[in-house]
């Protein structure tokens, strides 16, 4: 598969993503500078974590106007698979590719720790390798991960099974104590209505190989590769 990792000024998890996809999972992967305007030849793109544009104004608020974001929107609109991790998730929210917005963590602190998330929807192209309800242990590292959306949008997302990850205990119980940042409904990851764009606050690229002592994150990337292979076997029905 040909995968792209977008690099904004201030991205700092792009190399981790490239390492996991290229070295660990042996896929063809390239970095895409934010000034590029074409994603031609790529099967999926990842918006990595970091502090794009220094998080000035609001997280993701300035990155969404980067030249490459026009191409990302176009790519997503024709069904292309887009994964936003942490700051990448924040950028997708600001760009309107995902519903809602991020508020400062309830604790007002930057939180860097392992959390548990339950897989609410294992039928997305990003979670096909997971069992429904499976609990994943993944690291988070953010100050603005307190997800918010209005009631109407939340009920639409629930009806469409767009809530993919919810913070929970190691046993899978979704409790207020297991919510690290105050997110509405313990939400840690969501897709768009079509299911081809996923935003998640935890970092799967930081736990995708044995040497790191945790491989849960690998499931996300393997699911994506599975979904891309499957799509390649089917005749294309979408045209731009």
Partner 1 sequence: MKAKIHVTLKQGILDPQGKSIEQALATLGYTAVSNVRVGKYLELDLNETEKEKAEAQLKAMCDKLLANPIIEEYRYELDAER
Cβ closer to partner 1: 149 or 223?
Answer: 149
H or E element at residue 84: strand 81-85
**Residue 7 Cβ vs partner 1, minimum distance, rounded to whole Å:** 22
Is residue 106 close enough to count as binding partner 1 by CB under 8 A?
yes
Size of interface with partner 1, in residues (CB under 8 A): 19
Is residue 155 close enough to count as binding partner 1 by CB under 8 A?
no
Cβ closer to partner 1: 94 or 205?
Answer: 94
Contact residue for partner 1 among 14, 43, 94, 205 (CB under 8 A) = 94
Query: Do 184 and 166 meet the contact criterion of CB atoms below 8 Å apart?
Result: no
Selecting among 86, 130, 168, 207, the annotated active-site residue is: 86
**Residue 143 Cβ vs partner 1, minimum distance, rounded to whole Å:** 11
Per 3-state DSSP, the chain is made up of helix, strand and coil in percentages (nearest 5) of 30, 25, 45
DSSP-derived secondary structure for 2-46 = EEEEEE-TTB-SHHHHHIIIIIIS--EEEEEETT----TT-SEEE
Selecting among 13, 94, 142, 205, the annotated active-site residue is: 205
Report d(CA 217, CA 130) in Å as an integer.
11
Annotation says 203 is catalytic: yes
Decide: helix, strand or coil at residue 147: strand
Contact residue for partner 1 among 148, 169, 215, 222 (CB under 8 A) = 148
Is residue 137 close enough to count as binding partner 1 by CB under 8 A?
no
Six-digit token string for 227: 């979904």
Is residue 111 close enough to count as binding partner 1 by CB under 8 A?
no
Task: Classify the C-alpha dihedral 199-179-14-225 as positive or negative.
Answer: negative
Query: Do 122 and 132 meet the contact criterion of CB atoms below 8 Å apart?
Result: yes
Is residue 100 close enough to count as binding partner 1 by CB under 8 A?
yes
Annotation says 112 is catalytic: no
Annotation says 120 is catalytic: no
What residues are labeled active site? 86, 203, 205
Q: Footprint of partner 1 on this chain (CB under 8 A)?
A: 57-58, 61-62, 65, 94, 100-101, 103-108, 146, 148-150, 182
């Amino acid at each position: 598969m040909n995968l792209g990792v977008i690099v904004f000024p201030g991205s700092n998890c792009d190399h981790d993503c490239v390492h996991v996809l290229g070295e660990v999972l042996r896929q063809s992967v390239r970095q895409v500078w934010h000034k590029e305007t074409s994603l031609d030849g790529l099967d999926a793109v990842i918006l990595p974590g970091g502090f794009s544009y220094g998080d000035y104004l609001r997280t993701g608020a300035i990155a969404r106007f980067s030249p490459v974001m026009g191409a990302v929107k176009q790519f997503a609109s024709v069904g292309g698979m887009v994964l936003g991790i942490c700051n990448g998730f924040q950028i997708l929210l600001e760009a309107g590719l995902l519903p809602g917005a991020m508020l400062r963590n309830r604790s007002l602190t930057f939180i860097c720790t392992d959390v548990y998330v339950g897989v609410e929807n294992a039928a997305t192209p990003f979670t096909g390798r997971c069992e429904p309800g499976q609990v994943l242990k993944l690291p988070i590292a953010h100050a603005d991960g307190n997800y918010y959306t209005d009631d109407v949008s939340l009920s639409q997302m629930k009806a469409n099974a767009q809530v993919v990850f919810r913070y929970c205990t190691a046993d899978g119980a979704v409790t207020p104590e297991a919510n690290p940042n105050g997110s509405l409904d313990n939400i840690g990851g969501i897709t768009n209505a079509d299911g081809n764009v996923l935003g998640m606050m935890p970092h799967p690229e930081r736990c995708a190989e044995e040497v790191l002592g945790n491989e849960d994150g690998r499931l996300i990337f393997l699911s994506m590769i599975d979904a891309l292979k499957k799509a390649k076997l089917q005749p294309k029905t979408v045209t731009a």
